Amino acid sequence: MYWTLELATTLHDAPWPATKSELLDYAVRAGLPAIILENLREIEEDEEEFESIEDLWPDYYLAHEGYFYNAEEY
C-alpha cells in the first residue's frame, strides 16, 4: 500500500468504524482516486473493523500534524 497525506485525507469522512468492504463501497460511491481503491483492495483482513484511517496508515497523525505550518513557531 502507498499512502500519502493527500490520499489518506480522502478517507477522513468515511463512515468509521468500517470494514474493508464498507470502505471500498464508500470509495466507489464518493468517486475517490483509483489508487485509494487499490490500497483498500490490498488490505488482507476482510472482516476486521477499522476505527479510523490511523488503523490503515499509522503515520497519518504524524504526517497530518507536521503538514500544517504554524506561524507562531516562527
The domain locations on the chain are 5-73
pLDDT in tens, 13-68: 899 999 999 999 999 999 999 999 999 999 988 789 999 988 888 877 666 555 44
Q: What is the dihedral of CA 41, 27, 64, 54, to 10 degrees?
A: -50
Cα 52 from Cα 56, distance rounded (Å) = 7
The cell numbers describing 34, all together, are: 483509483
- The whole-number pLDDT of residue 57 equals 84
Q: 49, 46, 45: which is closest to 14 by C-alpha?
A: 49
What are the pLDDT digits (tens) for 30-42? Answer: 999 999 999 999 9
Confidence (pTM):
0.78
- Concatenated DSSP letters of 34-49: HHHHHHHHT-S-SSPP
pLDDT at 61: 67
Task: End-to-end CA distance of the chain: give it in Å, rounded.
Answer: 35
